[in-house]
Amino acid sequence: MPRKRATIREVAQATGLSPAAVSYALRGLQVSEETMERVRAAAAELGYEADPIARALASGRSGMIGLLCGSLEDLWQQSLAVGISRGLREKERYALILDAVGDPARERILAQQLRDQRVDGLIVQPIDPAASFWPELCESVPVVAIGDSLVGTAGEVVFDNRRGVTLALEHLRTLGHRKVAILTSTRASTPDRPADVHVTAEADRLGLDIEVTTAPHELAGATSVARDILAAKRPSAVFCFADSIAYGVYAAAKELEMSIPRDVSVMGYDDHPMSGLLTPGLTTVDWDIDGIVRAAVRLIAAATDGAPRRRRVVQAPTLRERGSVARLP
Amino acid sequence: MPRKRATIREVAQATGLSPAAVSYALRGLQVSEETMERVRAAAAELGYEADPIARALASGRSGMIGLLCGSLEDLWQQSLAVGISRGLREKERYALILDAVGDPARERILAQQLRDQRVDGLIVQPIDPAASFWPELCESVPVVAIGDSLVGTAGEVVFDNRRGVTLALEHLRTLGHRKVAILTSTRASTPDRPADVHVTAEADRLGLDIEVTTAPHELAGATSVARDILAAKRPSAVFCFADSIAYGVYAAAKELEMSIPRDVSVMGYDDHPMSGLLTPGLTTVDWDIDGIVRAAVRLIAAATDGAPRRRRVVQAPTLRERGSVARLP
DNA sequence: ACGATTCAGTGAAACGCTTCACTTGGGAAC
DNA sequence: GTTCCCAAGTGAAGCGTTTCACTGAATCGT
């Protein structure tokens, strides 16, 4: 880290070339092998490194991939973010991670912000896939959407949430549960998310008596919501739309001295690494996070490296039984 | 999100002013109330929003705060990052989060990258606080360091790791443990981190028979290291230098059908929210993450808002007993 | 009534790079 | 020996802001 950055002009002077030539040379364009070598040497000598801001302004590209998360309080999304970040790094690309903290309005602002940063591509896990700004955004930058109902221009990684919900609720039904509390994630608005719609539809079909409540992902908040539900409603099972929320149920059960699954059964959704560590292990719906990460990275890389075939990767869920759901008599 | 961004020039034309005047007006500088109002109206009308990249290039500032994490695989650091991100948002500032994945070389590159992004300030949790580039970096941007031995120019949030280690090891010693396996986090180099040094010093003082091994934060990796340790060395206790790593010990114990704390005692370090949920709860050293977040945010905000008093906030650890450490006969 | 001081606003030069439209010199083609 | 072309390199105009040094007019104290 030299005391003062070298500019491209200085490299040009050092080599006796024009700044333009240096610019081309450093990117391996339009110049002879020989000058390229000469320029590289001079650049190394001077400790020159291109200024990303100036570059972005001039070229309209930043070399970064934006990652817009619905809510990083969800531990699973944290894992996803970390995974994607790592995956991109392996492809020599950098991720710019922003967190909408569950707020659709914030989602709009941050999406705009990322575009303003000239990201080459955008991976989003939309809170509100129906929001009106997505189409416009998709026009100005390749988008890979991760989720359920979609917006991607560069591809999509689709969770079959309908199937996931079916898997979960059928499991509960088969084991004899009828009165099921549903805990879904809090959000500032967007009431009719497709995932939620699936839940009520499936519950109807299976003849389950459900009550849907929203809960935050963050442990303390989830615990407090779960405490109320467990104490007041006495459901035989709780289905949480994220493992993070299920952790809150575990905590609440502990506080209330209820035993899982004897006093109440719990199901999660996502399969976060910690879920297998709890006692009892959390029965959940597993989404193959590695597969999702790989798919998302591959799609965005393809889109930005100019292989523009838009693809749709569908993730199938798996039921992962671990012991947090009891069979009712 | 208008189809095409309005530029400052267009706003200038619309109001009949010079671009300079508009620039000043939008920032509430140097112009009369009346024109300010006129400019604001026109800007709103045209949907103008300043381009952050151009702004950063011209002014050398971006309005963002960089957050450089040692390793986001550490769940505790994830929590820290999320907390800081949220804390900054409340102060109307944005965080740019980068992850060095435990690699000191990467840490240097990313630090440089953040400076190149013209961040107004930098919060770092250094992997290698002794690395030579910190002083130079500190000259070009206010730095708040979080950790043990420090580099901050804008302030520091210090963990008293010596005390934390003492707390943990004394606890083990008091309960009769002598043969203790230490699991510390993997890193690409930097062998002599102060925290590690404290461990061996303290162990000596207390007459503990320790063996130090490095383990990754990520669950599968930690589990596999822990499995080897538990099977081969048969320590009476394992002290993990991060709760994430302790989770690996729980997983390994489960696989080996060892019971915690009957067959082996486990201590963590950090107090991650999940630690209280495990069975048995993980006994750990608690660092008051909220306090750290608040301190870091306050320090960096003070430094960038021009109140340049450099402060040092020391965090004291607390022992949090939960049941994963048994008293030996 | 006069220079001195403020106030509101202007013009143009940065910021550091990319890129477009052009020169060149020199070889191949005819 | 022209003509044509191509690879290698140049100049200058951006990209959208900020900021510095200034101007003209209005205000002020005396």
DSSP-derived secondary structure for B2-34 = -SSPPPHHHHHHHHTS-HHHHHHHHTT-SS-HH
Q: Please check whether residue A92 is in contact with residue B109, taking contact to mean a CB–CB distance below 8 angstroms.
A: no
Using CA atoms, how far residue B235 sits from B7, B186, B222, B255, B321, in Å, is 67, 20, 17, 17, 20
Identify which of A170, A146, A168 has the alpha carbon closest to the alpha carbon of residue A159. Answer: A146
Q: Tokens 């809090």 map to which residue?
A: A186
Identify which of A140, A158, A157 has the alpha carbon closest to the alpha carbon of residue A87. Answer: A157
Q: Beta-carbon neighbour count of residue B244 at 10 Å?
A: 30
At residue B321, does pLDDT exceed 90?
yes
Beta bridge partners of residue B63, listed in sequence order:
none
Q: What is the distance in angstroms between the Cα of A206 and the nearest Cα belonging to chain B?
A: 32
**Shortest CB distance from A247 goes to which of B52, B62, B274?**
B274
Does strand C come within 7 Å of the CB of B94?
no
Identify which of B43, B80, B62 has the alpha carbon closest to the alpha carbon of residue A113. Answer: B62
Distance, CA of A32 to C1' of D1, in Å: 29
Does the beta-carbon distance from A82 to B97 stay under 8 Å?
no
Residues of chain B with Cβ-Cβ distance to A82 below 8 Å are 72-73, 78, 99
On the question of a cis peptide bond just before residue A104, with omega within 30 degrees of 0, the verdict is no
pLDDT given at position A136: 86
Chain B residues 243 to 272 with C-beta below 7 Å from nucleic strand C:
none
Does strand D come within 7 Å of the CB of B5?
yes
At residue B25, does pLDDT exceed 50?
yes
pLDDT given at position B190: 67
Q: Please report which confidence band the pLDDT of residue B208 belongs to, taking 50, 70 and 90 as the band edges.
A: very high
Q: Please report which confidence band the pLDDT of residue B48 belongs to, taking 50, 70 and 90 as the band edges.
A: very high
Does strand D come within 7 Å of the CB of B86?
no
Nearest CA in chain B to A245: B274
Does the beta-carbon distance from B247 to A117 stay under 8 Å?
no
Distance, CA of A31 to C1' of D10, in Å: 12
Q: Please check whether residue A238 is in contact with residue A230, taking contact to mean a CB–CB distance below 8 angstroms.
A: yes
Does strand D come within 7 Å of the CB of A31?
yes
Q: What is the distance in angstroms between the Cα of B237 and the nearest Cα belonging to chain A?
A: 19
Q: Tell me which amino acid residue A39 is.
A: V
Q: What is the distance in angstroms between the Cα of A311 and the nearest Cα belonging to chain B?
A: 26
Q: What is the CA angle B327-B328-B329, rounded to 5?
A: 120
Rounded distance, CA B198 to CA B165, Å?
Answer: 7
Nearest nt (C1') from A15 Cα: D9
Distance, CA of A216 to C1' of D14, in Å: 49
**Shortest CB distance from A53 goes to which of B56, B89, B133?**
B56
- Mean pLDDT (chain B) is 90
Does strand C come within 7 Å of the CB of A13?
no
- Lowest-confidence range among B125-139, B216-230, B263-277? B125-139
Does strand D come within 7 Å of the CB of A105?
no
pLDDT given at position A152: 77
Share of chain B above pLDDT 90, in %: 62
Q: What is the distance in angstroms between the Cα of A306 and the nearest Cα belonging to chain B?
A: 24
Going by the DSSP 8-state scheme, the letter that residue B270 receives in this structure is B
Query: What does the block give as tokens for A320?
Result: 């992962």
Q: What is the CA angle A16-A18-A20, rounded to 5?
A: 145
Query: With 0-12 CB in 10 A as exposed, 13-18 as middle and 19+ as buried, what is B4?
Result: exposed
The number of C-beta contacts closer than 8 angstroms across A and B is 90
Identify which of A95, A49, A88, A66 has the alpha carbon closest to the alpha carbon of residue B112. Answer: A49
Does strand D come within 7 Å of the CB of B27?
yes
Share of chain B above pLDDT 70, in %: 96
Alpha helices in chain A (DSSP H): 8-15, 19-26, 33-46, 52-59, 75-90, 104-116, 133-140, 161-174, 194-206, 219-233, 243-255, 289-304
Distance, CA of A175 to C1' of D2, in Å: 93
Does the beta-carbon distance from A1 to B112 stay under 8 Å?
yes
Identify which of B160, B129, B157, B139 has the alpha carbon closest to the alpha carbon of residue B302. Answer: B157
Query: What does the block give as tokens for A146?
Result: 């991760």
Q: Please report which confidence band the pLDDT of residue B188 belongs to, taking 50, 70 and 90 as the band edges.
A: low
Q: Please check whether residue A122 is in contact with residue A133, taking contact to mean a CB–CB distance below 8 angstroms.
A: no
Does the beta-carbon distance from B277 to A57 stay under 8 Å?
no
Nearest CA in chain A to B223: A277
Beta bridge partners of residue A96, listed in sequence order:
A66
> Residue A271, SS3?
coil
Does strand D come within 7 Å of the CB of A50?
no
pTM: 0.88
At B227, give phi and psi (nearest 5°): -60, -50
Cα A218 to chain centroid distance, Å, stands at: 16
* Sign of the torsion angle spanned by Cα atoms A47, A52, A56, A62: positive
Nearest nt (C1') from A27 Cα: C18
B70-73 contact pairs (CB < 8 A, 24+)? B70/B100, B70/B102, B70/B107, B70/B125, B70/B126, B70/B127, B71/B99, B71/B100, B71/B101, B71/B102, B71/B127, B71/B185, B71/B217, B72/A82, B72/A85, B72/B99, B72/B101, B73/A82, B73/B101, B73/B102, B73/B216, B73/B217, B73/B218, B73/B244
Distance, CA of B176 to C1' of C16, in Å: 64
Rg (CA), chain B: 25
Rounded distance, CA B241 to CA B118, Å?
Answer: 34
- Give the list of residues 6+ apart from residue A199 with CB closer than 8 angstroms, or none: A165, A169, A182, A184, A210, A212, A239, A241
Mutation to test the B interface, candidates A53, A94, A109, most B Cβ within 10 Å: A53
End-to-end CA distance of chain A: 69
> Residue B154, SS3?
coil
A169-178, B77-86, B94-103 — which one is most confidently predicted on average?
Answer: A169-178
Strand B94-99, strand A265-267: pairing: unpaired
Mutation to test the A interface, candidates B88, B141, B143, B274, most A Cβ within 10 Å: B274
Nearest CA in chain A to B255: A277
On the question of a cis peptide bond just before residue A135, with omega within 30 degrees of 0, the verdict is no
pLDDT given at position A87: 92
Residues of chain A with Cβ-Cβ distance to B117 below 8 Å are 52-53
- Lowest-confidence range among A237-241, A287-291, B19-23, B186-190? B186-190
Rounded distance, CA A249 to CA B5, Å?
Answer: 47
Does strand D come within 7 Å of the CB of A303?
no
Q: What is the distance in angstroms between the Cα of B53 and the nearest Cα belonging to chain A?
A: 6
> Residue A135, SS3?
helix
Low-confidence ranges of chain A (pLDDT < 70): 1-4, 188-191, 306-310
Using CA atoms, how far residue B114 sits from A112, A289, B180, B251, in Å, is 21, 29, 40, 37
What's the rounded mean pLDDT across residues B171-181?
A: 96
pLDDT given at position B1: 47
Going by the DSSP 8-state scheme, the letter that residue B166 receives in this structure is H
Nearest nt (C1') from A31 Cα: D8
Distance, CA of A58 to C1' of D19, in Å: 20
Identify which of A132, A116, A134 has the alpha carbon closest to the alpha carbon of residue A124. Answer: A134
Does strand D come within 7 Å of the CB of B48?
yes
- Give the list of residues 6+ apart from residue A312 with CB closer than 8 angstroms, or none: A155, A156, A158
Following CA atoms A86, A91, A96, A101 in sequence, which dihedral angle do they give, to the nearest 10 degrees? -50
Q: Please check whether residue A216 is in contact with residue A73, taking contact to mean a CB–CB distance below 8 angstroms.
A: yes
Rounded distance, CA B134 to CA B153, Å?
Answer: 10
pLDDT given at position B24: 93
Does strand D come within 7 Å of the CB of B122?
no
